[in-house]
Chains A and B, each alone.
Chain A
Amino acid sequence: MTSETGFDPALYDRFPTRGDRPAGELEALDRIWQSPRGIARVTDVNNNYVGIWYVGAAFLFFLLAGILALAMRVQLALPMQGVLPQETYNQFFTMHGTLMMFLFAVPMVEALGVLLLPQMLSARDLPFPRLSAYAFWAYFVGGLSFFASLFAGLAPNGGWFMYPPLTGMAYSPGINADFWLLGIGFIEISAIAGAIEIIVGVLRTRAPGMTLARMPIFAWGMLVFAVMIVIAFPSVILGTLLLEMERALNWPFFDPTRGGDALLWQHLFWFFGHPEVYIIFLPASALVSMMIPALARAKLVGHDLIVLAFLATAFISFGVWSHHMFATGMPAMSVGFFSAASMAVSVPAGIQVFSWIATFSLGKPRFNTPTLFVLGGLFTFVLGGLTGVMVAMVPFNWQVHDSYFIVAHLHYVLIGGMVFPLFAVFYFWTPMTSRRALSERLGKWIFWLMFAGMHLVFMPMHVTGLMGMPRRVYTYLPGRDFEVPNMISTVGAFVMAAGVLLLLIDLVRSFRFTVDDDAGNVYGGGTLEWLPTGLYSSRSIPVVTSRYPLWDQPGLSEEVEQGRYFLPNTATGLRETLITSPLRAEPEYVQIMPGPSPWPFLSAIFTAGFFLILTVQAYAVAVTSGVLAVIAVLRWLWDTDRPVRPAQVDVGAGIMLPTYVTGPRSHGWWAMIILLIVIGMIFLMTIFSFFYLYGVQANFWRPGPSMAALVPIVGCYGLAAGLAVLGKRLLAREQSTLWSPVSAVLFGIFALTVGYAIDLAGWRTHGLHGSASGQGAVVYALLSLEGMLVAIALLMGGYLFARNARGIVSRPANNSVDLVVLFTVYTAAQGIFSTLLTRLVPGSL
């Protein structure tokens, strides 16, 4: 058999090991992975706890957004109702959409990833447990404060996609829009933190032998989901940043009278916004593909085709953003291309639907609650998909644009594609985390109430839409025949809400969180999350030889529990997990994992504080909070990246693996590369904005400052990259002193700062200001991005200085040095590109 890393696959034959394991191993695992008790539990970072909090918080936002929907339905039940005044209604629908998309759907999926993935992959935890905790707390505190803006009447009111000019200073002078821009911008950071965690987790912490071909479909779904977040979210992060800069600094990105363009926002928003739908749908459909084999008692039909469908969706969904903009007057040919892609993207979804139907028809399904929710979801999603193909056709799209037909379509897709599967997930996986399963009898009531309610609410909306009722109106006049369908929708909303209320009652009655004495594999799933587990996941990490290990590897559960596989004990006396190779999952090294810590929690609180206090313009307090957040992050990092003794440990059956690895094999390096891709995407979208504004408003553009300055700027940036790489090389040399390697990196960061300062000074003396024109705005946006990176590099330099001063920079290689060097080289490269672009266009090119 071929190897990816040089690991001999014949070594797998040593497992399961024979003979009894020494006493006390399990107790040691229990002790090391023990959770803090009482109030200190908030410092816990274990995926079992963080995962369930995360799911709970996301569900809370689902309930809150649902309550807002009920209020809106009451207002619309009859014409000219006075339940919600216009402004309140605007805030309610904006909040409903924003909460459902940003605070429920994406976080819920991430939460399920945190909760389920380590068990499914048989990892002890995700590779960055503190990052998960940070992402959760930042999201939870930030989300609640964001929601609270409703009570002060300050909630955003411009719709969940916040189109300027409505959301510009001229039409939204209050701070409502800022709440959205800063609140959501910040929650996106939390989503990206989660995505990095999930990519590295899926690719590097799978059980040995779990090649990509044997990886559970949910892991595929989460991998594609996280990669899509990394590509799509930077676009909306940039959009929110630009709109906030326009509002705060008067830089006219979206003001056509001053060389901006309002449509730029729509491009940036929908380049994120449409993939977002698949970001939500793919993991949910992956969970359906995980449940159906157990529910139908047959292996999934077309496993490889589903993997292909995920990959194809990930690509094609980035070619459909402009179908939200068919009514804006784009070139006819562009419209045609987007229409074609929009129809094409329904094919991968169709592949999944047919695969599910085939699996059900081949198996012997039992009609229990999860099956009902899966089938109900499938039916609903297909209807939404069909109206999706309808609105992909341009003439029809023009007809129903901004009408209730679209409201019906999107709710069919999202409820059928995500919410019903989620409820199936609640029933299917609750026995994994609770002492008791949820009630089947109540479950069937819940399903039928929700299913009937859902169709009662949204089926009539197709008709109201075709009759001409626009979206986002707080009321309508009598006598236009809107009364009957609206009344049916309102009644349906309460029927659906009754179903959700029943689920809450069932949860209170039956859900009792536990890690080790759960209700067990009630529905007979075949994947690793059903192994017996503790807070450390399974006792030992099995060798996987099939897609359904529990079905195909008899006796696996007992052998895993008896410690007959990898890491049956604690090899170093610390929290640890096995890092495996990305393609074939061959064991590479033992990762030492961080345990509970108050710092991720505190840094999350202060980060949330920074963004939210900024909204109310208490700048001094906000900045203090920001500084505290940075200090907390640095303090959290300080304990990490410490090589341990021994350097090699026995991970079972005499197989020796290292405990400290640097460079492209290390999990930290992977995380940094993904972060740099995120930053690179933000930069790429800024370049798109640059050319977009130049393309549509060229008459506002003039040549930049002198070309002569390019020599010192590019020279400094080049020197910075060179010095940083030199520092890394020096670290490996025995004759270098304590300070020479780190000093080279620090000088590199200094050169970076000088290069940036020359570039900035050039533009300041040139006289073009951010507020002057679209060109000024986008040039200063590029300068601001580079400035932000340089500031972070300086911070990293200070951190490295402190670590070196305390003598904790390991030799001959060190992860902290590697990552700072990577970041410095990237910043220099972006700086060179940025300065060449802004000075050469327009004029020289």
Chain B
Amino acid sequence: MRAWASLLGGLIVWAIHFFALYFAASIFLTSALTRAITAAVTLLCLAAAAWLTWRAWRRRQAHDDGFAQWSDGIAILSGGVALIAVVWQGLPALLI
């Protein structure tokens, strides 16, 4: 379970971010509150994705096992994707 959570960490953060935004907009519609929630959730998720990426990066340096290096590599990529995707996903709150 831990191995999968590490592999998919960034993407899980993206999913949490997206559904938080969806529920906020569904309940509070297009309002200042929704924008505030979006900003807060986006910052939190960015922090989480950055932390996951950094952790995977450090782990990857620490060991020489081929498989573990591969899985940390995927974890770094998925964290990196999450950083960009979370920002992108939050942008509509600034534009609409």
Footprint of B on A, CB under 8 Å? 1-2, 211-213, 304-305, 307-308, 311-312, 314-316, 318-319, 331-337, 339-341, 344, 583-584, 695
Known: A319-B15, A583-B71. 15 other contacts (CB 8 A): A2-B65, A211-B70, A212-B71, A213-B70, A305-B77, A308-B77, A311-B11, A311-B74, A315-B15, A319-B22, A333-B30, A334-B26, A336-B93, A344-B85, A695-B26
In the docked arrangement, what's the CA distance between A311 and B71, Å? 13
Nearest-neighbor residue (CB-CB) of B80 within chain A = A308
B92 close to A339 (CB less than 8 A) = yes
Q: In the bound complex, how far is the Cα of B68 from the Cα of A1, in angstroms?
A: 10
Cβ A344 vs Cβ B26 within 8 A: no
Question: Once bound together, how far apart are the Cα atoms of A583 and B65, in whole Å?
Answer: 13
Chain B hits for A331, CB < 8 A = 25-26, 29-30
With an 8 A cutoff between CB atoms, is B62 at the interface? no
What are 28 sample pairs from A and B whose C-beta atoms fall under 8 A apart?
A: A2-B63, A2-B65, A2-B68, A211-B67, A212-B67, A213-B67, A308-B78, A311-B7, A311-B8, A311-B78, A312-B81, A314-B11, A315-B11, A318-B15, A319-B18, A319-B19, A319-B22, A331-B29, A332-B96, A333-B92, A333-B93, A334-B26, A340-B88, A340-B91, A344-B85, A344-B88, A344-B89, A584-B67
Interface of B is mostly: helix
Task: Report how far A2 CA is from B68 CA in the complex, Å.
Answer: 9
Judge whether A337 and B92 touch: CB under 8 Å.
Answer: yes
Instruction: Decide if B21 is an interface residue (CB 8 Å cutoff).
Output: yes
Smallest Cβ-Cβ distance to A345: which chain B residue: B85
Q: Are B92 and A340 in contact (CB under 8 A)?
A: yes
A-facing residues in B43-96 (Cβ within 8 Å): 63, 65-68, 70-71, 73-74, 77-78, 81, 85, 88-89, 91-93, 95-96
On chain A, the residues within 8 Å of B85 by CB distance are: 312, 316, 344
> B11 to A336, Cβ gap below 8 A?
no
Q: Please state if B65 and A1 are interface contacts (CB–CB under 8 Å).
A: yes
Q: How far is the CA of A705 from the CA of B92 in the complex (A)?
A: 43
Instruction: Compute how far the CA of A45 lies from the CA of B8 in the bound complex, rounded to whole angstroms.
Output: 35
* 24-42 of chain B: CB within 8 A of chain A: 25-27, 29-30, 34
Please indicate the chain A residues that have their CB under 8 angstroms from the CB of B70 in the complex.
Answer: 211-213, 304
Q: A612: shortest Cβ distance to chain B, in Å?
A: 37
A213 CB to closest chain B CB, in angstroms? Answer: 4
Given contacts A212-B71, A213-B70, A304-B70, contact A336 B96 (CB under 8 A): yes
| Chain A residues within an 8 Å CB radius of B67 | 2, 211-213, 583-584
- Taking a contact as CB atoms under 8 Å apart, the answer to whether A336 and B95 are in contact is yes
Most chain A CB within a 10 A radius of its CB, from B18, B91, B95:
B18
Residues of the B chain whose Cβ atoms lie less than 8 Å from the Cβ of A315 = 8, 11-12, 14-15
Q: Do A333 and B88 touch (CB < 8 A)?
A: no
B77–A337 touching, CB < 8 Å: no
Q: A684–B29 Cα gap in the complex (Å)?
A: 23
Inter-chain CA distance A337–B81, complex, in Å, is 17
A211 vs B74: C-alpha distance in the bound complex, in angstroms? Answer: 14
Interface centre among B11, B67, B77 (most CB of A within 10 A): B67
Contact check, A337 vs B11: say whether CB atoms are below 8 A apart. Answer: no
> Are A213 and B18 touching (Cβ within 8 A)?
no
Least CB distance, A199 to chain B, in whole angstroms: 12
The residue from A213, A304, A332, A333 contacting B66, defined by CB atoms under 8 A apart: A213
Q: Which residue of A lies closest to B11 (CB)?
A: A315
Any chain A CB within 8 A of the CB of B5?
no
A-chain residues with CB within 8 Å of residue B74 when the two chains form the complex = 304, 307-308, 311
State in angstroms the CA–CA spacing of A332 and B81 once bound together.
Answer: 26
Task: Report the bound CA distance from A368 to B21 in whole Å.
Answer: 48
Q: Closest CB of chain A to B80's CB: distance in Å?
A: 9
Question: CB-CB < 8 A to A339: which residues of B?
Answer: 92
B interface residues, Cβ below 8 angstroms from A: 3, 7-8, 11-12, 14-15, 18-19, 21-22, 25-27, 29-30, 34, 63, 65-68, 70-71, 73-74, 77-78, 81, 85, 88-89, 91-93, 95-96
Choose among A1, A314, A333, A344 the residue with the greatest number of B CB atoms under 10 Å from its CB. A333
Given contacts A212-B67, A213-B71, A341-B18, contact A336 B92 (CB under 8 A): yes
Distance, CA A337 to CA B90, complexed state (A): 7
Smallest beta-carbon distance B24→chain A, Å: 8
Query: Which of A211, A341, A695 lies in contact with B89, CB distance below 8 A?
Result: A341
Q: Nearest 7 A-B pairs (CB), nearest first?
A: A336-B92, A213-B70, A333-B25, A334-B25, A333-B30, A319-B18, A315-B11
| A316 touching B14, Cβ below 8 Å | yes
Closest to B73 in A: A304
Contact residue among A211, A213, A312 (Cβ-Cβ distance under 8 Å from B78): A312
What is the CB-to-nearest-CB distance from B12 to chain A, in angstroms, rounded to a whole number? 8
**Chain B residue with the shortest CB-CB distance to A343:** B88
B77 touching A304 by the CB < 8 A rule?
A: yes
> Nearest chain A CB to B88's CB is how many angstroms away?
6
Knowing A315-B14, A318-B15, A584-B67, the reply to whether A333 touches B81 (Cβ < 8 A) is no
Give the chain A neighbours of B12 by CB distance below 8 A: 315
Complex interface: chain A residues within 8 A of B26 (CB)? 331, 334, 695
Q: Which residues of A contact B15 (CB under 8 A)?
A: 315, 318-319
A314: B residues at CB distance < 8 A = 11
Report the separation of the CA atoms of residues A335 and B85 in the bound assembly, to the nearest whole angstrom: 17
User: Which A residues are CB-close (under 8 A) to B93?
Assistant: 333, 336
Asked whether B78 lies within 8 Å of A340 as measured between CB atoms, the reply is no
B65 to chain A, nearest CB (A): 5
B11 contacts which of A211, A213, A312, A341 (Cβ < 8 Å)? A312
With a 10 A CB-CB cut-off, give which of A1, A2, A305, A319 has the most chain B CB atoms: A319
Q: How far is the CB of A688 from chain B (nearest CB, A)?
A: 10
Q: How far is the CA of A212 from the CA of B21 in the complex (A)?
A: 33
- How many angstroms between the C-alpha atoms of A304 and B15 in the bound complex? 21
Whether A308 pairs with B81 at a CB distance below 8 angstroms is yes
Known: A311-B11, A583-B3. A337 touches B25 (CB 8 A): yes
Q: Give Cα A447 to B11, complex, Å.
A: 38
Verify A337–B21 contact, CB threshold 8 A. Answer: yes
Cβ of B82 to closest chain A Cβ, rounded Å: 9
Chain A neighbourhood of B81, CB < 8 A: 308, 312
Q: CA A541 – CA B11 in complex, angstroms?
A: 34
Chain A residue with minimal CB distance to B14? A315
Contacts of B27 in A (CB 8 A): 695
Do A337 and B78 have beta carbons less than 8 Å apart?
Answer: no
Question: In the assembled complex, which residues on chain A have CB atoms less than 8 Å from the CB atom of B14?
Answer: 315-316
State how many angstroms separate the Cβ of B20 from the closest Cβ of chain A.
Answer: 10
Q: Which residues of B contact A583 (CB under 8 A)?
A: 3, 67, 71
For the complex formed, measure the closest distance between the CB of B15 and the CB atoms of chain A, giving whole angstroms: 5
Residues of A within 8 A of B22 (CB): 319, 334, 337
CB distance from A781 to the nearest CB of B (A): 21
Bound state CA distance, A340 and B73, in angstroms? 27
In whole angstroms, how far apart are the Cα atoms of A368 and B17 in the complex?
Answer: 46
A307 contact set on B, CB distance < 8 A: 74
For the complex, what is the distance from the CA of A331 to the CA of B92, rounded to whole Å?
A: 12
Question: What is the bound-complex CA distance between A315 and B81, given in angstroms?
Answer: 12
A311 to B22, CA, bound (A): 21
Contacts of A336 in B (CB 8 A): 92-93, 95-96
- Cα A213 to Cα B3 in complex, Å, equals 13
Expressed in whole angstroms, the minimum distance between the Cβ of A449 and any Cβ of chain B is: 40
Inside 8 A of A341's CB, which chain B residues have their CB? 18, 89
Please give, as numbers and ranges, the residues of chain B lying within 8 Å of A212 by CB-CB distance.
Answer: 67, 70-71
CB of A738, distance to nearest CB on chain B (Å): 36
